Chains A and B, each alone.
Chain A
Amino acid sequence: MPAAASRGWWRVYAVADVLLAVEGLSKRFGGVVASDGISFAIPQGELHAIIGPNGAGKTTLITQLAGELTPDLGEIRFGGRDVTALPTDRRSRLGLARSFQITSLFLDFTALDNVALAVQAHAGHSFHFWRAARKEQALREPARAALARVGLAARADTLVSRLSHGEHRQLELAMALATGPRMLLLDEPMAGMGPDESARMVALLRELKGELTILLIEHDMEAVFALADKITVLVYGRIIASGTPAEIRANADVRQAYLGEQEQGAGKASEAAHG
């Protein structure tokens, strides 16, 4: 990307205290373009939703933001700092937390163990060989707090392999929260959840909105329109529209490409979608 253009981009958003800025992000897999020159900026405190049909490249985008995938082109800045070349664990330690679309937990441990590990990752180094970590209140207390926050306090001592799918999704969020992040990257947190569970999740996210900056990928349109401050629409790896929920709803291109299908479909898109 030419240097002049990139400088101009930052100037526009400098005032709004941008936390995450993405510029010209591009990624191909062989012949498939997963990300095509994606650029956007998310100011602190905003809940920014990314929507789009299947195959739009939403998860690929999150994977690049989290650091598991290196973009072919483009830049990612977090808190003013260029993190494009940083590995995942470094980004996490800088305050960028992520939840997985397909649940990725420590199945043979308890829910509390899972979250306590997330706490431990941000509690200094772990070259401690002697004290029993499961007895360290400095790790267990914040973990319990995070579990309580997402509503899993009662299931703290249950093996994750025995939890339901919905509880897995809650646990994903708890782990992200336990790392004390500045920003959450949430990849379909409500995937596969029933109506009650989804409603609870929406309420929780609404609570978190003020405290944290959130990038949310979701298929559940009700939730998206209820929560988002800004919405960006991704189709075939490129942004076709970006704006407030009202603007997006009114946008003809978006209706044609995506929302039109949703309105006809009715109800929870998450049942049909795989993302």
Chain B
Amino acid sequence: MTLLTPRNALVAGVLALLALVPVYATLTGNFFLLSLFTRIVILAIAAVSLNLIMGFGGMVSFGHAAYLGIGGYAIGILAKEGINSGFLQWPFALAASALFALIVGALSLRTRGVYFIMITLAFAQMVYYVAIGLDRYGGDDGMTIYKRSQFGDWINLSNKTAFYYLCLALLLVTIYLVWRIVNSRFGLVIQGARSNDRRMRAIGFATYRYKLTCFVIAGVLCGLAGALLANHTDFINPSIMHWTRSGDLIVMAVLGGMGTVFGPVLGALSLIALEEALPALIRAVTLPFLGGDSAARVAEYWQLALGPLFLLVVLYARGGIEGLVAGVRRG
């Protein structure tokens, strides 16, 4: 099996790009770029965790963004109460995510298909409204986090470059972990349950317990992303948990390619980078021909195209970007 396939080249290229961003940013002084890519990396972790249950497990959760909020609020609430140590905050964030995932999963996994989608959506909305009701922690407006998670001498999260590399490292760890899980006995059970749950039970698997475990793992990973995101933005508010944010994560996974572990990373990259970069790019390219206003307009239309583009991908290119590159169609 040759190592130099188009797909592997793409993966290597993207990883190289991600590794070099801070270098480029420091050289050009463009720290907006660093911030943008930090966001991309963090959301990539969330998207990869979602794909574990969605792409491999067939469990379409429209409430996955709830964990971004739970992880974030765990950090924010502890910070507000005076606990700034990352060694306390982060385990708390992960534990809270695990608990929520356990409860939601235990109930939701008793349902199937569209009911499952709806119930996960409803649970996410529940947490969203709960957060809005938390007056002490900012309610609807959210709250600022004045001090990032403290890790003593280990790492200073306020150092943007250090923070970026931490996030990137965690992304790589997440990808590796998910990759191992997916190919293990456990992973095959999950994939089998996605492919034909009835058959799985007929051959002797009690699929519920495996799916629930997978659901919790995905929740914890996304909770980690939530903790990172709260540190990145120094802010947390309920809107991050709205069901449409879960939709964004799903878009990333589908766009990038649900069939592989790395796909969602491509999805996160394309979605966010394009959102920011494409308008500027279009403006730069069309400016000489169209002039300021029209160029800005053309850039705006990109956002308009995203919806229909996504619909087209869903209809005709389910393998996503990764699928197109690898020449593989999924499902």
A216 CB to closest chain B CB (Å) equals: 17
* B183 in contact with A132 (CB, 8 Å): yes
Which listed residue, B185, B196, B213, B331, touches A105 by the CB 8 Å rule?
Answer: B196
* B199 in contact with A89 (CB, 8 Å): no
| A10 close to B (CB within 8 Å) | no
* B203 in contact with A133 (CB, 8 Å): no
A121 CB to closest chain B CB (Å) equals: 4
Stretch at the interface among B77-85, B204-212, B288-296: B204-212
B150 CB to closest chain A CB (Å) equals: 31
A133 to B191, CA, bound (A): 12
What residues of B have a CB within 8 angstroms of the CB of A122 in the complex?
A: 204
Interface size class of A (residues with CB under 8 A): 35 or more
What residues of A have a CB within 8 angstroms of the CB of B201 in the complex?
A: 87-89, 92
**Chain B, interface SS category:** helix
Which residues in chain A, 81-137, are within 8 Å of chain B measured between CB atoms? 87-90, 92-93, 97-98, 100, 104-109, 113, 116-118, 120-122, 126-134, 136
| A66 close to B (CB within 8 Å) | yes
| A170 close to B (CB within 8 Å) | no
Chain B residue with Cβ nearest A94: B204
Which listed residue, A107, A108, A130, A179, touches B203 by the CB 8 Å rule?
Answer: A179
Decide: A126 near B189, CB < 8 A? Known: A88-B202, A108-B331: yes
Chain A residue with Cβ nearest B188: A133
| B69 close to A (CB within 8 Å) | no
* B204 in contact with A133 (CB, 8 Å): no
What residues of B have a CB within 8 angstroms of the CB of A107 in the complex?
A: 195-196
Which listed residue, A98, A100, A113, A121, touches B205 by the CB 8 Å rule?
Answer: A121
| A175 close to B (CB within 8 Å) | yes
* A130 in contact with B180 (CB, 8 Å): yes
| B57 close to A (CB within 8 Å) | no
* A175 in contact with B203 (CB, 8 Å): yes
Q: What count of chain B residues pass the 8 Å CB interface test?
A: 26
A155 CB to closest chain B CB (Å) equals: 18
What residues of A have a CB within 8 angstroms of the CB of B200 in the complex?
A: 89, 117, 121
Counting residue pairs across A and B whose Cβ atoms lie within 8 Å, the total is: 96
Which residues in chain B, 172-230, are within 8 Å of chain A measured between CB atoms? 180-181, 183-189, 191-192, 195-196, 198-207, 210, 213
Which listed residue, B180, B192, B210, touches A117 by the CB 8 Å rule?
Answer: B192
* A120 in contact with B188 (CB, 8 Å): yes
Which residues in chain A, 47-85, are within 8 Å of chain B measured between CB atoms? 66, 68
Decide: A89 near B195, CB < 8 A? Known: A126-B185, A127-B186: no
A100 to B204, CA, bound (A): 14
* A132 in contact with B184 (CB, 8 Å): yes
* B196 in contact with A106 (CB, 8 Å): yes
A98 to B201, CA, bound (A): 11
* B202 in contact with A133 (CB, 8 Å): no
* A129 in contact with B180 (CB, 8 Å): yes
A122 to B184, CA, bound (A): 16
A138 to B206, CA, bound (A): 21
- Beyond A117-B200, A126-B185, A132-B184, 11 additional contacts (C-beta under 8 Å) are A106-B196, A107-B196, A118-B203, A120-B185, A120-B188, A127-B210, A127-B213, A128-B186, A129-B180, A129-B181, A132-B180
A-B contact pairs, 24 of them (CB 8 A): A68-B198, A88-B201, A88-B202, A89-B200, A89-B201, A89-B205, A89-B206, A92-B203, A105-B196, A108-B195, A109-B192, A117-B189, A117-B192, A120-B188, A121-B203, A126-B188, A127-B186, A128-B185, A128-B186, A132-B184, A134-B188, A136-B185, A179-B203, A179-B204
* For the complex of A and B, 9 pairs with smallest distance between CB atoms: A92-B204, A121-B204, A106-B195, A128-B185, A126-B185, A133-B185, A118-B203, A89-B201, A88-B201
Give me the interface of A with B, judged by CB distance under 8 Å.
Answer: 66, 68, 87-90, 92-93, 97-98, 100, 104-109, 113, 116-118, 120-122, 126-134, 136, 139, 175, 178-179
